Amino acid sequence: MQNTVNQSIMPVTAKINENGVLEIGGCNVVELAEKYGTPLYVYDEDTLRASCRQYKQAFSPYENVSVLFASKAFMTQTICAILKEEGLGLDVVSGGEIFTASSANFPMERCYFNGNNKSSEELELALETGVGRITVDNFFELELLDSIAKSKDKYVNILLRITPGIECHTHEYIQTGHLDSKFGFDLSQLDEAIELIQERFSNLTLVGLHAHIGSQIFETQVYSDLVAIVSEQFAKIHDKFGIMLEEMNLGGGLGVQYTSADDPPSIFAISEVILNALRENLVKYNLPDPKIIIEPGRSIVCNAGVTLYAVGSSKQVPEGKKYIAVDGGMADNPRPSMYQAKYDALVANKANQKPEETVTIAGRYCESGDILINDIELPETEPGDIICIFSTGAYNYSMSSNYNRIPKPAAIIVQNAQSDVIIKRETYQDLILHDVIPERLMCPLGDGHPLS
């Protein structure tokens, strides 16, 4: 079966040139670091587009499929422009993501709005911008959305998110399909929700169900189980309420390779499991073919991205570890400290040199837990060397912060030896842009003010 982008640590264009320097997208990454500074997020456009096309190809045997990019993984106007060209939709979870898509002239009818606590303002924005579907997560949202829709004389097509009761062998913080979850309606609550839609919420039209079982999933059987559970609910809803649902959103969650120890299934393996299970269950329950929606995020963008850092200080602990410090860390990649995530890396300007020592790559932030990679074998490093950490395209920028009052890095995209900025590097001025000093604290000292 064909390998896919999520099964490779490096971007598809990565190579080591004749000078022993890493290149991505035809660009020398050391020269990129010199031109744009570090830390630097680098995205390979060819890898991003390849993953989009592999998803479309993998699910092409089924006629009616929509692939939505889970934009929480990495959301910029440039990403929206590329996804628009590739024919994907968007899974959005906030007003900010909706606004970004709309400002990039993304076709908003291809957007599905998810989330467990959408605000009135976000729901209003979704209706104003023409978001195609809203996935309703709870009873409160049903009533709120219907009220807003009535006030605007609009009718809204919705899906109900359910918790299918499937637990995946993944980090507990990224399990979302098990019964004790903050997301979605329990299956025992579905009848009540549908009755409310039919009897009270006349501006809402139920068109489907949504279920998502987690993230960084390496199993395949769970997808078959998910299809079976959702199909059974389709049949029960038809039998009890006379509603033939049209859309089955199966979420995303396919894992990726962060290190050589990771062995995720391919996109084609997952599609085969899903489509086989779908055919079996449609026959079992005598259901017409629904529209299938999938929402990959990490597996589309993660392996397209790398992060470049410059080496600074180092420390050899007597009879212990050697630490090498870089100019970024937990604020631009919080995943190691949050999820104990593991990564692979190389010294980009010494990419063809053999490892000589085992080191721990430490960040620059004032936290002892600010460690990017524990115990990695690298060539001997010195200040100014460029460390490239792979598979950082998903959630790194999305979850980044200004901890220690440090500006966020720039992000660039590369293709055919060309590089372009897609997110500008923040400046110190940006850090204070929204700071306000109350006027009462602006009084000169010595005028009788309590601060004098």
d(C-alpha 173, C-alpha 336), whole Å: 13
The answer to whether 245 and 208 have CB atoms below 8 angstroms apart is yes
Crossing angle (nearest 10°) for helices 267-284 and 45-58: 30
Look up 80 and say whether it is catalytic.
no
* DSSP secondary structure code for residue 342 in this structure: -
Whole-angstrom distance, CA of residue 104 vs CA of residue 102: 5
Maximum Cα–Cα distance across the chain: 85
Q: Can you read off the two tokens belonging to residue 363?
A: 């960040």
Q: What are phi and psi of 376, to 5 degrees?
A: -115, 140
- Which residues are 419's β-sheet partners? 414
Distance from CA of residue 6 to its chain's centroid? 13
Place of tokens 């189980």: 225
**Residues 111, 92 contacting (CB under 8 angstroms):** yes
Phi/psi for 347 (5° steps) reads: -85, 110
Amino acid at position 434, single letter = H
Is the four-CA dihedral 157, 162, 164, 168 of positive or negative sign?
positive
Choose, from 168, 366, 388, 443, the residue flagged as catalytic: 366
The residues assigned a catalytic role are: 366
